[in-house]
């Protein structure tokens, strides 16, 4: 959902920024702090998480990589299961890639050619490169363990 492209230019960007700001107001407490957890599994969270992620991509496209990184980091921390793939965006940003990083993993053969990414190749890429950025990812295994996802 890229409103900037769908609606067009500045108007679309403005609508998306407003949606982002409204989503943030829905999730932060009176001190402006994000929740400790905001799991994708709760359907009530998904529309908020989607617009927050989309705004981060807009910022990334505009070259505001530190702002985008901060949003992706927050999304990742509140949803360690990371159904959205915020960890992949964090890694791509840290590696200096653009918002089209996923094209490296697009399926090129068969009925899903150009319509899907190779999740095995993406996972391998992540596993091989995440170690370069322990400051971003060292907390993650313990968070998954606390949520009961791993032993």
Q: Where are the domains of the chain?
A: 3-146
Q: pLDDT tens digit string along 94-144? A: 999 999 999 999 999 999 999 999 999 999 999 999 999 999 999 999 999
Q: What is the pLDDT of residue 70?
A: 98
CA-wise closest residue to 65 among 85, 95, 35: 95
Q: What is the pLDDT of residue 7?
A: 56
pLDDT above 90: percentage of residues in the chain: 89
Structure tokens at 102: 């996923």
Q: What is the pLDDT of residue 10?
A: 85
Q: What is the pLDDT of residue 4?
A: 54
Query: pLDDT at residue 6 above 70?
Result: no
Q: pLDDT tens digit string along 69-90? A: 999 999 999 999 999 999 999 9
Interatomic CA distance for residues 129 and 122, integer angstroms = 11
Structure tokens at 4: 């900037």
Q: Reduced to 3 states, what is the DSSP secondary structure of residue 52?
A: helix
Q: What is the pLDDT of residue 58?
A: 95
**DSSP letter string, 70-93:** HHHHHHHHH-TT-TT-HHHHHHHH
Q: Reduced to 3 states, what is the DSSP secondary structure of residue 117?
A: strand
Q: Which residues of 136-150 are buried (b: 16+ CB within 10 A; e: fewer)?
A: bbeeeeebeeeeeee
Q: What is the pLDDT of residue 63?
A: 97
Residue 89 has φ and ψ, to the nearest 5°, of -65, -40
Q: What is the pLDDT of residue 23?
A: 98
**DSSP letter string, 53-69:** HHHHHHHHHTT-HHHHH
């Amino acid at each position: 959902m890229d409103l900037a492209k769908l609606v067009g230019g500045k108007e679309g960007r403005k609508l998306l920024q407003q949606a982002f700001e409204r989503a943030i107001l829905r999730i932060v407490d009176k001190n402006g702090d994000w929740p400790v957890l905001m799991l994708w599994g709760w359907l009530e969270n998904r529309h908020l998480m989607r617009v927050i992620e989309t705004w981060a991509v807009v910022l990334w496209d505009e070259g505001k990589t530190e702002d985008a990184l901060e949003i992706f980091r927050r999304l990742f921390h509140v949803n360690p299961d990371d159904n959205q793939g915020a960890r992949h965006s964090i890694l791509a940003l840290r590696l200096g890639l653009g918002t089209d990083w996923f094209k490296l993993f697009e399926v090129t053969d068969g009925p899903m050619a150009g319509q899907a990414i190779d999740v095995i190749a993406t996972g391998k890429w992540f596993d091989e490169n995440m170690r370069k950025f322990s400051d971003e990812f060292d907390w993650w295994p313990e968070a998954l363990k606390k949520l009961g996802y791993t032993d």
